[in-house]
Amino acid sequence: MSKSSVAVIDYGMGNLHSVASALEKVGDGVKVMVTDCPETILSADRVIFPGVGAIRDCMAELKSRGLDEVIQEVAAQKPLLGICLGMQALLENSEENGGVECLDVLPGAVKFFGSDLRDSTGGRLKVPHMGWNNVVQAIEHPLWAGIPDASRFYFVHSYYVDAPEFVAGSCDYGVQVHAALACENVFAVQFHPEKSGDMGLRLLSNFLNWDRPAAFFPVTD
């Protein structure tokens, strides 16, 4: 890998220590910049947009720092990985906090799991969806390289992504959770790769090695 740079967007939503540590672990000398500076973000070779917490606060923090437009600009230019709340913020809107308009980088909505979520046998499912669940890959993609289909990743969320297209992976939790989306140079995941052990580290490593937008290849049987 070339000694490229990756910006981790720091907008006050959650602890970014783990994301930065994981990138340093797999980065082989990559320059990891945890920053809210628009110029730094725009100058990086690739960008990670993480986040935990509530979407209203997330959007407010982004706007107050002028980062909403920065992220939209990044999404049009260079590899961008959205993680958890960062993924949700890339969609059109979210039901959380009474309804919040998001960045509209990817089509789709963020919905609440509901208060009476059931599995296929009628068993009650807890919310938040917390723990390790299988992600079934819907497409071939450079970010899935070396990651077996249906590998488990660590999730923690109460709202889930429902997208009409660009689904790269999904998981079952009472509803079909669109756990990964891929569109040109944007990849977004609901799970936490920085907390998903070896498979998560592999996905981050793949992101750091991902130079060109992938073509969109649906898996066919």
Partner 1 sequence: MALAKRIIPCLDVDKGRVVKGVNFVGIRDAGDPVEVAKRYNEQGADEITFLDITATHEGRETTAHIVEQIATEVFIPLTVGGGIREIKDIRAMLNAGADKVGINSAAIHRPDFVKEAADRFGSQCIVIAIDAKRVADEADGRPRWEIFTHGGRKPTGINAVEWAIKMVNNGAGEVLLTSMDGDGTKAGYDLALTRAISDAVPVPVIASGGVGNLDHMVEGIIEGRADAVLAASIFHFGEYTVPEAKAYMAARGIEVRL
Residue 206's H or E segment, with its range, is: helix 197-208
Can you state the percent helix, strand and coil of the chain, rounding each to 5? 30, 30, 40
- Classified as helix, coil or strand, 91 is coil
**Distance (Å, rounded) from C-alpha 163 to C-alpha 151?**
21
Reply yes or no on whether 141 is catalytic. Answer: no
Annotated catalytic residue 95: no
Instruction: Report, in Å, the least distance between residue 113 CB and partner 1.
Output: 10
Six-digit token string for 140: 């071939």
Question: Which residues contact partner 1 (rule: CB under 8 A)?
Answer: 14-15, 17-18, 21-22, 24-25, 52-54, 115, 119, 125-134, 136, 150, 152, 154-158, 172-173, 194-197, 200-201
Q: Choosing from 58, 61, 84, 96, which is the catalytic residue?
A: 84
| 192 assigned to active site | yes
Residue 60 or 201 having the CB closest to partner 1: 201
- DSSP 8-state symbol, 138: -
To which residue do tokens 């289909």 refer? Answer: 149
In the complex, minimum distance from the CB of residue 190 to partner 1, in angstroms, rounded to a whole number: 13
* Least gap, CB of 198 to partner 1 (angstroms): 8
Using the minimum distance from each CB to partner 1, give the nearer residue, 54 or 139: 54
Pairing between strand 159-162 and 175-183? unpaired
Nearer to partner 1, 102 or 186 (CB): 102
Q: How many residues does the chain have?
A: 221
Q: How far is the CB of 11 from partner 1 (least distance, A)?
A: 14
| Closer to partner 1 by Cβ: residue 53 or 164 | 53
Q: What number of other Cβ atoms are within 10 A of residue 92's Cβ? A: 15
The one catalytic residue among 129, 141, 183, 194? 194
Catalytic site positions: 84, 192, 194
